[in-house]
Amino acid sequence: MSERLKILPLLILVAMLAFSVRLVEVVSGVRDLSGSAHAAAEKARSTDDASMPSQQKLAMADDAKENDNSAEGQSKPELEEETDHADIDVDNSKWRDASDSDGGVSAVKMQMFTDMAERRKELDKREQALVTREALLQAAEQEIDRKYQEMDALRTQIEKLLEEQSEEEKARIASLVKIYEGMKPKEAARIFDTLDLDILVNVMSLMSERKLSPILASMNPERARTVTIMLAEQKTLPELPGN
């Protein structure tokens, strides 16, 4: 009994070895069959290609080329579409306002706008001051023009008064001149000492020097000196502008 138990494992081991050898032989046979079948198929395909007409080969080649072109055409629009989307994304990221993602830039912009507003107010104030100043200058210029016109009118009036002398007044002075020239020097000198200086100067300025000299010699020395000075100034009075 014990000897049978010792032989049993050996039998099992031998059986397993035999089974393994058989399995290897089966696998080798299957490989040989598959290799033979593949070779036969390749040989048949080469035979068919050799026997196929040239026009059929060209048609098959064209079909294969069209398939490749269609595949390439389908892939190209997809590639262009992806490229367009990428460009749109790049443009969007390029033109995106920095204030959308950065609050500090918004603060800088707000400060810039505030500074610009303050600057505008200052410029408006300066402009208003310039307008006011210009208005004052215009008013002053108008006032100066008005004063000048008034002075010009007054000068014209004075000139007219100086020039206006009636013929009757001239005739009366001329008559007095004749009267005093016909009087004795002492009598004329006594009257001249009491006449108004303006009238006396007008009369004496029209008398001849020969008739006037003895009258001045007979007059009061102080009165004669005053009249002489007035006559001299009358002779040297400057002419009015415009004459």
Single pTM value for the model: 0.31
Residue 172's pLDDT is: 85
* pLDDT band at residue 124 using 50, 70 and 90 as cut-offs: very high
The residues spanned by each domain of the chain are: 165-235
Please tell me the least confidently modeled range out of 18-32, 41-55, 113-127. 41-55
Quick one: pLDDT at residue 232?
Answer: 86
Measured N-to-C along each axis, helices 185-192 and 209-218 cross at an angle, to the nearest 10 degrees, of 70
Report helix angle 209-218 to 221-235, nearest 10: 150
d(CA 191, CA 220): 11
Say how far apart CA 203 and CA 194 lie, in whole Å: 13
CA distance 122 to 129: 11
